Amino acid sequence: MKKIAVLISGSGTNLQAIIDKCLSGYIEAEIVCVLSNDPNAYGLERAKLNNIKTKIINSKDFETSDLFNEGLYDYLKTLDLDLIVLAGFMKILSGTITKTFYGKIINIHPSLLPKYPGLDTHKKVIKNKDSLHGVSVHYVSEELDAGPLIAQGAIKTYKDEDIDDLIERIHQIEHIIYPEVIKFICKKQIYLDSNKIVYKNININNKDFIYKNYEI
């Protein structure tokens, strides 16, 4: 059974999707810790309701981002993890963390990377009248939102679409694609080899997994 830590900063809807898939056996792993930099993150309550250990490393308790990252690094090293899952974790990880755990940290980002790294992706999509929006799951590297891409899911946008409706549709994709990627990583069917992603016994000839269009 693989050991996972999930790092959050907010409500934890992706966390809930991952918890549900672990409990059902879809993901062959145990979430050994849910960690947040915000003590008020509702995702911590989701973890407690499912008897999952929680840890708060409050970023406001540290004078600098470097000191926060040192505290985070020291704690992560104690867990002996197979995978670190960033699920709405709103802090930039230090080079020490990304280098030490490279190939063991994944993130889901609400855009079709390399387009729109960083924040406010939904607003940018609407402002630029993009015909497509989506999510990207990637390994985490030192460069923000620029690690090797594992899978992407895309949806068509609608003219004059309300941003809240767009965000809700994006969340629906996230809750499908992220558990699926985690499942394959835990089964060693996806892994990094010399910065190249290996897909083992996954049919990717038609690219339905690497890049998939969703009717949502």
Q: Which residues are catalytic?
A: 109
Whether 8 contacts 15, CB under 8 Å: yes
Distances (CA, A) of 201 to 106, 188, 207: 20, 10, 14
Residues 43, 49, 52, CA angle at the centre, nearest 5°?
Answer: 75
DSSP-H helix ranges across the chain: 13-24, 43-49, 65-77, 95-100, 121-127, 163-186
**Spatial separation of the C-alpha atoms in residues 210 and 55, rounded to whole Å:** 33
- What φ, ψ does residue 9 adopt, rounded to 5°? -135, -10
Distances (CA, A) of 89 to 10, 129, 156, 183, 204: 8, 27, 26, 20, 29
Strand partners for 35 = 7, 55
